[in-house]
Amino acid sequence: MSSPTAARRRRIVSALEEFQWRGLVFDTSEGLEQHLNSGQVTAYCGFDPTAASLHVGNLVPLLALARLQRLGHCPIALVGGGTGMIGDPSGKSQERNLLTAEKVAENIAGIRQQLAAFLDFDSKSAPAQLVDNGEWLNTIRLVDFLREIGKHFSLGAMLAKDSVKSRLDGPGISFTEFTYQMLQSYDFLILNQRYQCTLQVGGSDQWGNITAGIDLIRRVGGTKSHALVMPLVTTAAGTKFGKTEAGAVWLDAERTSPYRFYQFWLNTADQDVIRYLRTFTFLDADRIEALAQELAVAPQKRAAQRALAHEVTALVHGETAVARAQQSSEVLFGGSIEALTADDVLEIFDEVPSHRLTPEVLSDEGLPLIGLLADAGLVPSRGAARRLVREGGAYVNNQRVADEKASVRREDFLDGRVLVLRKGQKSYHLVTLEV
């Protein structure tokens, strides 16, 4: 992350405007703009530990906290060690299974450090905080909670929330999930009391939970607090954002390698890319406008996509990872493999599936390519492998092989050790030779 110092020195104004031009405002509480312009505000956003890693969808609220910090406000990232034990019914059509306490603890450990990477905790003027609502939710006594907090909730209002209503019309909802909004409201109240937190941000699906918190704070303390909810990210194609054939795109390098992460952003459609630059990067309006121009003039250069992939990958994985992802991309999409050493190849194809071969199976005539493709799992059967070769979709070391009877020989292995199989444009498989 670039130094937020300059931004911090900027006057604390127009935070809402900044969010607005980036398309990040779905709805706000009344008077939020004046509140943000009146001085330093402490804002929070919660992240429930449903998995051991955050995914790209979580970037929007996470970056929102970082943006607020750059604009001089104090962010609090909250991990749901308590609420995660319950499960938020918002946007869920079915009751879910409870996570075990161990699983929750494990997930918290995972996302804690990811959250931390986006915020500046050492700032003198606007330090960030990281808190866990398990701290208060997991210890409060039921009767105390019902007397002090529950008393402020009206059943009518609770039942009227969309997340509850839709479930009542359908498969029903358990008492456990029904109480979720009380817990989240209580979080807001605690943060309001302990940290003077007066703003909660989140996705638009959180509106009901956030306003419930605002009401609670008003009833308990008589003070006003605020909500800012952001639209859910959509794709022009109407598909779910953040999903690939391989599943969700995670921030954890173990789950989604930096290379795949980079590729995910690089493959953004033209129609989406400018919007995503505003949503997912800190690039300013001038820079994004310039990229939009370039996209219009020379779409084939994909400068906007490259900038997007670079920025977001750097933010999540660092510049070194970006450099490596770029290098891998160049080789995988067009570059010649011959010039590389086996070590380079192994490095670039680090995450590509691979299997080992013993030298014995490699007779003097070589090993038939058809069988190798099938064994590698690039195609489901030998017949499919045959078709693939016939159609010209099979490559050995990035060179098309169209001969069904072709074999690979020892000489084909780079440095006598590694062979790169490819199906179509993007599917790779590595074959290494045991020595």
Partner RNA sequence: GGAGGUGUGGCCGAGCGGUCAAUGGCAGCAGACUGUAAAUCUGCCGGGAAUUCCCUACGGAGGUUCGAAUCCUCCCGCCUCCA
Q: Which of 128, 307, 352, 388 binds RNA (CB under 7 A)?
A: 388
Interface region with RNA, contact rule CB under 7 A, candidates 26-34, 195-203, 391-399, 412-420: 391-399
Q: Which of 25, 32, 43, 266 binds RNA (CB under 7 A)?
A: 266
- Strands, DSSP E only, in 129-256? 129-132, 197-203, 226-230, 243-244, 247-248
Interaction with RNA in 327-346: which residues (CB under 7 A)? 329, 333-334
Q: Which of 107, 200, 263, 397 binds RNA (CB under 7 A)?
A: 263
Is 249:256 a contact under the CB 8 Å cutoff?
yes
Calculate helix-pair angle for 319-332, 303-317, nearest 10 degrees: 140
Is 378:420 a contact under the CB 8 Å cutoff?
no
Size of the site for RNA (CB under 7 A): 31
Interface region with RNA, contact rule CB under 7 A, candidates 35-43, 141-149, 166-174, 261-269: 261-269
Using CA atoms, how far apart are residues 155 and 153, in angstroms rounded to an integer?
6
Interface region with RNA, contact rule CB under 7 A, candidates 181-189, 205-213, 284-292, 294-302: 294-302
Interface region with RNA, contact rule CB under 7 A, candidates 81-89, 93-101, 139-147, 296-304: 296-304
Q: Which of 159, 237, 246, 285 binds RNA (CB under 7 A)?
A: 237
Smallest gap from residue 372 Cβ to RNA (A):
13
DSSP of 227-292: EEEEPPPB-TTSPBTTEETTEE-BSSTTTS-HHHHHHHHHT--HHHHHHHHHHH----HHHHHHHH
Is residue 387 within the footprint of RNA (CB under 7 A)?
Answer: yes
Q: Is the alpha carbon torsion for 96, 99, 104, 107 positive or negative?
A: negative
Is residue 384 within the footprint of RNA (CB under 7 A)?
Answer: yes
Pair of tokens at residue 171: 């498969």
Pair of tokens at residue 50: 């449903």
Is residue 299 within the footprint of RNA (CB under 7 A)?
Answer: yes
Is residue 270 within the footprint of RNA (CB under 7 A)?
Answer: yes
Is residue 380 within the footprint of RNA (CB under 7 A)?
Answer: yes
Binding mask 52-71 for RNA (x = CB under 7 A): --------------------
Interaction with RNA in 406-425: which residues (CB under 7 A)? 423-425
Using CA atoms, how far apart are residues 103 and 122, in angstroms rounded to an integer?
30
Is 369:393 a contact under the CB 8 Å cutoff?
no
Smallest gap from residue 293 Cβ to RNA (A):
14
Residue labelled with tokens 């071969």: 357
Closest CA to 313 of 339, 280, 338: 280
Region for 242 from its dihedrals, namely left if φ exceeds 0, alpha if ψ lies in -120 to 50, beta otherwise: left
- Looking at the Cβ atoms of 159 and 269, the one nearer to RNA is 269
Neighbouring C-alpha atoms within 13 Å toward the C-beta of 24: 27
Is residue 275 within the footprint of RNA (CB under 7 A)?
Answer: no
Smallest gap from residue 367 Cβ to RNA (A):
13
Using CA atoms, how far apart are residues 180 and 85, in angstroms rounded to an integer?
10
Neighbouring C-alpha atoms within 13 Å toward the C-beta of 352: 24
Closest CA to 379 of 419, 333, 423: 423
Smallest gap from residue 360 Cβ to RNA (A):
20
Is residue 269 within the footprint of RNA (CB under 7 A)?
Answer: yes
Smallest gap from residue 171 Cβ to RNA (A):
17
Is residue 238 within the footprint of RNA (CB under 7 A)?
Answer: no
Smallest gap from residue 132 Cβ to RNA (A):
39
Is residue 256 within the footprint of RNA (CB under 7 A)?
Answer: no
Is residue 302 within the footprint of RNA (CB under 7 A)?
Answer: yes
Is residue 239 within the footprint of RNA (CB under 7 A)?
Answer: no
By CB under 7 A, name the binding residues for RNA. 237, 245, 263, 266-267, 269-270, 299-300, 302, 305, 329, 333-334, 374, 380-384, 386-388, 391-393, 423-427
